[in-house]
A and B are shown apart, each in its own frame.
Chain A
Amino acid sequence: TQLLEQSPQFLSIQEGENLTVYCNSSSVFSSLQWYRQEPGEGPVLLVTVVTGGEVKKLKRLTFQFGDARKDSSLHITAAQPGDTGLYLCAGGIQGAQKLVFGQGTRLTINP
């Protein structure tokens, strides 16, 4: 069974600080997605990365897929209160119609 471990599980920082969330596995994934979930809502896709070493930027968010496609990171620069939420990574399994989700990182940005 492929597992994705996210760290940290909880993170509370002040507005303006930088942070990195990690998503690690011993398994190789064909793709890696990051979702953000807000209270009372379903997860919403932020980005999909499919190539080892790929880096994508979404305003202040930078996503990287590991060279070996076993891990990924999400870096937020100058965090803002609007970044508060639950961040989930999800790995695509080659040949299988499914995603494996990490347990999530609950991020709180304090004004």
Chain B
Amino acid sequence: EAQVTQNPRYLITVTGKKLTVTCSQNMNHEYMSWYRQDPGLGLRQIYYSMNVEVTDKGDVPEGYKVSRKEKRNFPLILESPSPNQTSLYFCASSLWQASYNEQFFGPGTRLTVL
């Protein structure tokens, strides 16, 4: 089954404790991205990657890091989480150009930073 998986689905942590949210897709997609979703703000792009070893900042990259060492995986790293990073996070992938192609979203990771 074609899908994007994220882990964990739920995470409660404390300020400053480094964490990683994993994302994996099995569709051989070139493009992957991370979004955060907050009430009234919609989905905002954090980082995106057009291919292995190619990553770029989205609209809200501060406080986040990503890597793309393999085509299928695109982990999101919070080196020192803060309460304002409490949010619902989605990983997405698409065949190529995101603006024209369907983006497939993972099920989301709900993160709470205390």
**Do A and B interact with each other, yes or no?**
yes
**Footprint of A on B, CB under 8 Å?**
4, 31, 33, 35, 40-45, 48, 50, 56, 58-59, 90, 92, 97-100, 102-103, 105-108
Cβ of A103 and Cβ of B107 under 8 Å apart? no
Highest count of chain A CB atoms <10 Å: which of B45, B98, B106: B98
Inter-chain contact total with CB atoms closer than 8 Å: 67
Checking B31, B33, B41, B99 against A96 with a beta-carbon cut-off of 8 angstroms, the contacting residue is B99
**Footprint of B on A, CB under 8 Å?**
1, 4, 6, 9, 29-31, 33, 40-45, 48, 50, 88, 90, 92-94, 96-99, 101-104
Cβ of B108 and Cβ of A93 under 8 Å apart? no
Interface of A, helix, strand, loop or mixed by DSSP: loop
Highest count of chain B CB atoms <10 Å: which of A48, A88, A98: A98
Pull 22 A–B residue pairs with CB atoms less than 8 Å apart, ordered by A: A6-B42, A31-B99, A31-B100, A33-B102, A33-B103, A40-B107, A42-B105, A43-B90, A43-B103, A45-B102, A48-B100, A48-B102, A92-B99, A94-B99, A96-B99, A97-B31, A98-B98, A98-B99, A99-B45, A99-B103, A102-B42, A104-B42
